[in-house]
Structure 1
Amino acid sequence: MRPASAVAGLVLAAGVLTACGDAGATITRLTVGTPGPDPYTLMSGTDKTDIKERPKAGGTTTGDSPGLYGGTRREATCDPQKLIEFLQANPDKAGAWAKVHGIPVDDIPRYVSRLTPVVLRTDTLVTNHGYRNGEPTSGPAVLQAGMGVLVNGYGVPAVKCNCGNPLTRPDKKISPDGASYTGRSWPGFEERKVTEIEPRDAKKGTIVTFVLVDPEGTMGFERPRATEGEADGPPAELPATETELTGDSPSPYDSGLPSPGTGSPGTESPGTEPTGTESPGTPSPGTGEDGGDQPASPGVTSQDPGMGGGGDPTGAGTGTGSGTEPGPPMSLPPGEEPAPPVG
Structure 2
Amino acid sequence: MHRIAVLAVFSLLLSGCEKGNPLTVVKAVAVGVPSLAPFFEENSGLGEDATTVRAQPVRGSLQQGDTPGLYGGSKKPTVCDVTRLERFLTDPRNHAKAQAWADVLHIGTAAIPEYLDRLTPVLLRHDTLVKNHDYKKEKAVPYNSLLQAGIAILVDEQGLPAVKCSCGNPLRPFEGDTGRISVRFEDGNKKWAGYERESVVAVKPAARKLERVALVDVQEPSLGLDRPVGTTGAQDTPFDAQQRRTVPDLTGRSFAQAARELIGTGLAAGYAGQRAPSGDARVTSTDPPAGTELPFGRYVMLTVAGSGSSGTGGARKSTTTPPPPPSGPRTPPPSTAPPSGPTGSSGPSSSSGKPGVSPSPPSSSTAPGSASPERSSTRPSPPPSTASPPTSAPVASSAPAPPPPPPSTTAAPATSRPATSEPATGEPATDGPSTTVAT
Q: Distance in 1 between matches of 2:217 and 2:67?
A: 15
Task: Say yes or no: does 1:200 pair with 2:192.
Answer: no
User: What secondary structure is seen at the aligned counterpart in 1 of 2:170?
Assistant: strand
Go from structure 1 to structure 2 and tell me whether the alpha carbon gap of 1:130 and 1:178 turns closer, same or farther (over 3 Å shift).
closer
Kept in 2, the 8 Å contact 1:211–1:326? The answer is: no
Task: Say yes or no: does 1:167 pair with 2:171.
Answer: yes
Alignment partner, residue 279 of structure 1? none
1:91 to 86, 89, 95: 95
Alignment partner, residue 70 of structure 2? 68
Go from structure 1 to structure 2 and tell me whether the alpha carbon gap of 1:184 and 1:16 turns closer, same or farther (over 3 Å shift).
same
TM-score by length of 2: 0.53
Alignment partner, residue 252 of structure 1? 274
Kept in 1, the 8 Å contact 2:22–2:180? The answer is: no
User: What secondary structure is seen at the aligned counterpart in 1 of 2:146?
Assistant: strand
Task: Say yes or no: does 1:34 pair with 2:38.
Answer: no
Task: Say yes or no: does 1:210 pair with 2:210.
Answer: no
Q: Matches of residues 143-182 of structure 1 in structure 2 within 5 Å?
A: 143-173=147-177, 175=179, 177-182=181-186
Cα offsets for 1:262-294 (capped at 9, x unmatched): 9xxxxxxxxxxxxxxxxxxxxxxxxxxxxxxxx
C-alpha deviation, 1:219, in angstroms? 1.7
3-12 or 93-102: bigger deviation? 3-12
Alignment partner, residue 123 of structure 1? 127
Alignment partner, residue 185 of structure 1? 191
Unmatched segments (≥5 aa) in structure 1: 263-298, 300-304, 332-343
Alignment partner, residue 47 of structure 1? 49
Q: Distance in 2 between matches of 1:30 and 1:138?
A: 14
Q: Distance in 2 between matches of 1:194 and 1:234?
A: 27
User: What secondary structure is seen at the aligned counterpart in 2 of 1:158?
Assistant: strand
Go from structure 1 to structure 2 and tell me whether the alpha carbon gap of 1:257 and 1:147 turns closer, same or farther (over 3 Å shift).
farther
Q: Distance in 1 between matches of 2:60 and 2:205?
A: 16
- Specify the code of the residue in structure 1 equivalent to 2:119: L
- Specify the code of the residue in structure 2 equivalent to 1:252: Q
Cα offsets for 1:133-175 (capped at 9, x unmatched): 3232110100000000000011010000000000001122565
C-alpha deviation, 1:218, in angstroms? 2.2
Q: Matches of residues 74-85 of structure 1 in structure 2 within 5 Å?
A: 75-85=77-87
Go from structure 1 to structure 2 and tell me whether the alpha carbon gap of 1:232 and 1:74 turns closer, same or farther (over 3 Å shift).
farther
Q: Distance in 1 between matches of 2:170 and 2:121?
A: 14
C-alpha deviation, 1:80, in angstroms? 1.0
Q: Distance in 2 between matches of 1:151 and 1:181?
A: 25
C-alpha deviation, 1:36, in angstroms? 1.9
Q: Distance in 2 between matches of 1:166 and 1:143?
A: 13
User: What secondary structure is seen at the aligned counterpart in 2 of 1:166?
Assistant: coil
User: What secondary structure is seen at the aligned counterpart in 1 of 2:90?
Assistant: helix
C-alpha deviation, 1:96, in angstroms? 0.2
Kept in 2, the 8 Å contact 1:207–1:225? The answer is: yes
User: What secondary structure is seen at the aligned counterpart in 2 of 1:172?
Assistant: coil
Go from structure 1 to structure 2 and tell me whether the alpha carbon gap of 1:69 and 1:15 turns closer, same or farther (over 3 Å shift).
same
- Specify the code of the residue in structure 2 equivalent to 1:54: Q
Q: Distance in 2 between matches of 1:47 and 1:56?
A: 21
Go from structure 1 to structure 2 and tell me whether the alpha carbon gap of 1:173 and 1:53 turns closer, same or farther (over 3 Å shift).
closer
What count of residue pairs does the alignment treat as equivalent? 268
Q: Distance in 2 between matches of 1:17 and 1:58?
A: 25
Q: Distance in 2 between matches of 1:145 and 1:110?
A: 28
User: What secondary structure is seen at the aligned counterpart in 2 of 1:85?
Assistant: helix
Q: Distance in 2 between matches of 1:100 and 1:211?
A: 27
Cα offsets for 1:183-209 (capped at 9, x unmatched): 3210111233211111112xxx20111
Go from structure 1 to structure 2 and tell me whether the alpha carbon gap of 1:77 and 1:234 turns closer, same or farther (over 3 Å shift).
same
Cα offsets for 1:62-104 (capped at 9, x unmatched): 1100000001136340011111111122100000000000001
Go from structure 1 to structure 2 and tell me whether the alpha carbon gap of 1:69 and 1:171 turns closer, same or farther (over 3 Å shift).
same
- Specify the code of the residue in structure 1 equivalent to 2:66: D
User: What secondary structure is seen at the aligned counterpart in 2 of 1:234?
Assistant: strand
C-alpha deviation, 1:7, in angstroms? 8.1
Q: Distance in 2 between matches of 1:137 and 1:220?
A: 36
C-alpha deviation, 1:230, in angstroms? 1.7
C-alpha deviation, 1:11, in angstroms? 6.3
Go from structure 1 to structure 2 and tell me whether the alpha carbon gap of 1:211 and 1:257 turns closer, same or farther (over 3 Å shift).
farther
User: What secondary structure is seen at the aligned counterpart in 2 of 1:252?
Assistant: coil
Which structure is larger by alpha-carbon Rg, 1 or 2?
2
Go from structure 1 to structure 2 and tell me whether the alpha carbon gap of 1:174 and 1:148 turns closer, same or farther (over 3 Å shift).
same
Unmatched segments (≥5 aa) in structure 2: 246-261, 277-308, 317-356, 358-378, 399-439
Q: Matches of residues 246-285 of structure 1 in structure 2 within 5 Å?
A: 252=274
Q: Distance in 1 between matches of 2:16 and 2:393?
A: 46
Go from structure 1 to structure 2 and tell me whether the alpha carbon gap of 1:170 and 1:158 turns closer, same or farther (over 3 Å shift).
same
C-alpha deviation, 1:229, in angstroms? 1.0
TM-score by length of 1: 0.66
Cα offsets for 1:11-35 (capped at 9, x unmatched): 67545654xx431x32111111223
C-alpha deviation, 1:6, in angstroms? 8.4
- Specify the code of the residue in structure 2 equivalent to 1:46: E
Percent identical among aligned pairs is 32
Q: Distance in 2 between matches of 1:306 and 1:259?
A: 42
